[in-house]
Structure 1
């Protein structure tokens, strides 16, 4: 591959993306300038919109709107071959891709999956096993049977989680058996920093997109709203993550671009 040409394409793509996002950001801010509601008015209105769609908002809605830009990342290569034992993992590699690895632990560890502190306990356990020096923090627990499910951890950068690089730890019958890790390295920040759209704006964007995703009248409950970085994976060595509001319901996850308001559902 001609890396110099690929890098030129990447730089050009980034410039075009910055221009498009800058225009969308300016348009949204211009529309908002006509009339500014108070935070409580906006939140009450959004709650009414969701109620009309049989959705409930059962979490605190963040008020912060920091200035953020794009996050330039690259894949970290996985150099361990499938079927062989990773240096630190204490297990056997079941699967590996360009920047993803799945490992079965040689010695499963007992864990009470139902325990409230399960996430913290597993985090301490995995710190000595995973192939990364990233600052992982517990994100959420997803059960799929009594004593079974997975615990998700996310790396953080400058105070915000990177949703595109999860570490998932799998528990079967109260035994930690496997983990899957996506490895990304942060190169730096890109583009001009802009004040992100509010979480209330993100919720409104989601409400307006519910019909598009076929989720009207599904009796969903929104349980978490969090600001971080995300993008779909690209088949390239380097790319950019956008600041997003992750909105988590009891059944699925949505990402709302915090600069443009575009909504995407996690698949």
Structure 2
């Protein structure tokens, strides 16, 4: 007998057996995860129903994880913003680290929190869009973002409502198909066009190599039971997101001063009225 050949065959057989056993063990661990089983989910929903919290979406059943991101705030110079919003014709009434104010006719732009938060307003009441509907409001908001030279490849329309003849439109940031919070671009559109624009955005600098796991969605939503502010609301979306909390990054005395930090995986729970809750192991 060719013992060398026989040993090789045995080694290969053991390797294949180990791979199969590992796969079976991994599959078994996924199957027996108790918090994604139907009984657990039904119990969780019953508890939410007792608080009049209604589910109007699917509950993800994956074992959730995301890699850490290193992010920082989007910031622009005064001249860049003046050119983007007013073709350089705005009057700069204040320009320091904490507050920039640019005014042009009926329009104004405030830049707050060390150039991280933008607030634009137009007080001109000219009726430009007499037949405004939701689709047109979204087009107007999107074009405004593009005209002001902001990238639209990483945004997603995440909420819209109409109230008192004004459309309130929220765009959220995406990174590799997952939301990146807290970043937002909120726009109010009425018959004049864009009457208000608010933006605080995050840029991704790097991605960590190690996946970070968090609680499953059925387990995470039980955290809503202690939040009285969501009683009586309807859940519209449950999705895993990258969550940046500035208070975690050595800025406890002045959390809005955080310049850069790491994200954590979290469940982003959005309700029908636009209210959002983030649940993770922070």
Same fold, judged at TM 0.5 (above): yes
**Corresponding residue for residue 225 of structure 1:** 238
**Corresponding residue for residue 154 of structure 2:** 135
Greater alpha carbon shift after TM alignment, 104-113 vs 155-164: 104-113
Cα 1:35/1:80, change in 2 over 3 Å? closer
- Contact 2:35-2:41 within 8 A present in 1 as well: no
Structure 1 unaligned residues grouped into runs of 5+: 1-31, 263-267
The C-alpha deviation readout for 1:163-220, integer Å capped at 9, x for no partner, is 211011112357322211113211112372133432212112222x23xxx348x422
**Corresponding residue for residue 165 of structure 1:** 183
Q: Residue 37 of structure 1: CA displacement?
A: 5.3
Larger helix proportion of the pair: 2
Cα 1:35/1:182, change in 2 over 3 Å? closer
Structure 1 counterpart SS, 2:208: strand
In structure 1, distance between residues paired with 2:36 and 2:196: 48
**Corresponding residue for residue 102 of structure 1:** 119
Q: 2:271 aligns with which of 220, 245, 249?
A: 249
TM-score, structure 2 as length reference = 0.65
Q: 2:211 aligns with which of 193, 198, 204?
A: 193
**Corresponding residue for residue 175 of structure 1:** 193
In structure 2, distance between residues paired with 1:228 and 1:35: 21
**Corresponding residue for residue 88 of structure 1:** 84
Between the two proteins, the alignment pairs up a number of residues equal to 219
In structure 1, distance between residues paired with 2:261 and 2:108: 27
Larger Rg: 2
- Contact 1:167-1:179 within 8 A present in 2 as well: yes
Please say if 1:46 is aligned against 2:44.
yes
In structure 2, distance between residues paired with 1:248 and 1:187: 27
TM-score, structure 1 as length reference = 0.69
Q: Residue 225 of structure 1: CA displacement?
A: 1.4
Cα 1:45/1:114, change in 2 over 3 Å? farther
In structure 1, distance between residues paired with 2:62 and 2:157: 22
Cα 1:199/1:130, change in 2 over 3 Å? farther
Structure 2 counterpart SS, 1:165: strand
Greater alpha carbon shift after TM alignment, 227-236 vs 119-128: 119-128
In structure 2, distance between residues paired with 1:60 and 1:101: 35
In structure 1, distance between residues paired with 2:208 and 2:130: 41
In structure 1, distance between residues paired with 2:69 and 2:51: 34
**Corresponding residue for residue 203 of structure 1:** 221
Structure 2 counterpart SS, 1:103: strand
Structure 2 unaligned residues grouped into runs of 5+: 1-29, 87-103, 247-254
Cα 1:158/1:49, change in 2 over 3 Å? same
**Corresponding residue for residue 34 of structure 2:** 36
- Contact 2:35-2:218 within 8 A present in 1 as well: no
Cα 1:147/1:65, change in 2 over 3 Å? farther
**Corresponding residue for residue 166 of structure 2:** 148
